[in-house]
Amino acid sequence: MNKTPKQVAVELQTAIDDNGQMEYNTVRQTGRFYRKENMDVLTYNETADDGSPIYNMITILTDKVSVKRTGSISMHQQFRKQKTSENVFQHPHGNLHMETFTNTINYQALSEHQDGLLTIDYTVKLNGQDERKHQLTLMIRTKEDSQ
């Protein structure tokens, strides 16, 4: 695999634990996967509840994962193991300040012989409120295998 984009099936699952109250979300889309030197990049689009587009780019390096979303919502969330990062989640109803602490990042790279799998365990404080536990699971499959 090289700099040529590869069409992939993307499944992004998030689980949020808000003091025992669980919230789950799953996004399934077709995306494009690139590998450039020591970096994997995944791009895909999704549609917000109001029908407007959201563009997603996930960049995976050995020590850092970056999730950038633009369109009707906007954010640039950084994950570094055992580090805190801050960003602003912008959406039509206002802005939220996010403080993210990353507990663990595990990544199994997409290859000819195995699916890609990224898991991130982290906590988020929105606008200084109590932190909530999050788990992100991203599965990447080559498009030929997923049909």
Mean pLDDT, to the nearest integer, of 9-22? Answer: 95
Look at residue 145 in the predicted model and tell me its pLDDT: 47
Residue 2 has pLDDT above 60, yes or no: no
pLDDT digits (tens, 9 = 90+) for 29-45: 999 999 988 899 999 99
pTM above 0.85, yes or no: yes
Count of other CB atoms within 10 angstroms of residue 100: 21
What Cα–Cα distance (Å) separates residue 1 from each residue in 30, 117, 121, 138?
18, 16, 28, 19
6-142 domain in CATH 1.10.760.10?
no
Looking at residue 112, what DSSP letter applies? S
